[in-house]
Amino acid sequence: MKTPPANLVVQLASIVEPLAPAKLFPRPQPLEVELGCGDASFLVEYARRNLAKNFLGVERLLGRIQKLHRKGDRLALTNLRGVRIESAYFLQYLLPPHAAAALHIYFPDPWPKKKHRKHRLINEGFPGLARQALAPGGAVFLRTDDADYFQQMTEVFGTAKEFEKTETPAALAEITTDFERGFNAQGIPTLRAAYKLF
């Protein structure tokens, strides 16, 4: 058995060479990726309940990705790792093609002002990045509280070739994220959608 890494946050040896996911985890298992994993509370719980899968959280803020380490380490999870990097860059340059069985994007920054919408992660180019990242049959799971962003998400995936609408499995839907719990507590409705490669 391999010794667990000292820190669950991957120290990137290079930001131009793709990662080798198989080398990050002790067991070769299907890999799921969460983009913008925040405090990692969703991913830690999902990893804890699914020990036969590997999970990688992507987050740009140092303080938040350090929480992934602290929470995962406390539970001695060997199927969880984090990377501190920008999500679209990660998909385009660091994740090897077709390496992920699923992508999870929950409550991405909404950029509600019209002039800022170009900063949204889920835009017309995103399905292409997702198609490159996903293994055959892979899925994208989306959640947001922002109705306008949700409409953009459903439009870009609704018109993307090779993706079809699917359901979020109940076992996944029941695990909430940090932001989702905040919205739920305030009575703010949230929206979800899922798309599958066919």
Ligand X SMILES: C[S@@+](CC[C@H](N)C(=O)[O-])C[C@H]1O[C@@H](n2cnc3c(N)ncnc32)[C@H](O)[C@@H]1O
Strand order in the sheet with 100-106: 80-84, 54-59, 31-35, 100-106, 134-144, 191-197, 163-166
Kindly state whether residue 60 participates in binding ligand X, applying the rule CB under 6 A: yes
Q: Quick one: 59 or 195, whose CB is closer to ligand X?
A: 59
Number of residues that bind ligand X (CB under 6 A): 19
Q: What is the DSSP string of 101-136?
A: EEEEEES-----SGGGGGG-SSSTTHHHHHHHHEEE
Task: Choose, from 39, 109, 146, 178, the residue flagged as catalytic.
Answer: 109
Active site residue 148: no
Which of 9, 58, 91, 130 binds ligand X (CB under 6 A)? It is 58
Smallest distance, Å, CB 11 to ligand X?
17
Helix, strand or coil for residue 12?
coil
Closest by CA position to 83, among listed 73, 94, 99:
94
Q: Which stretch binds ligand X (CB under 6 A): 1-9, 13-21, 31-39, 157-165?
A: 31-39
User: Restricting to residues 95-134, which ones interact with ligand X according to CB under 6 A?
Assistant: 106-109, 121
Fill in the amino acid letter for 76.
Answer: A
Please give the residue ranges that form the binding site for ligand X (CB under 6 A).
Answer: 36-38, 58-61, 64, 86-87, 106-109, 121, 177-180
Q: Which residues are catalytic?
A: 109
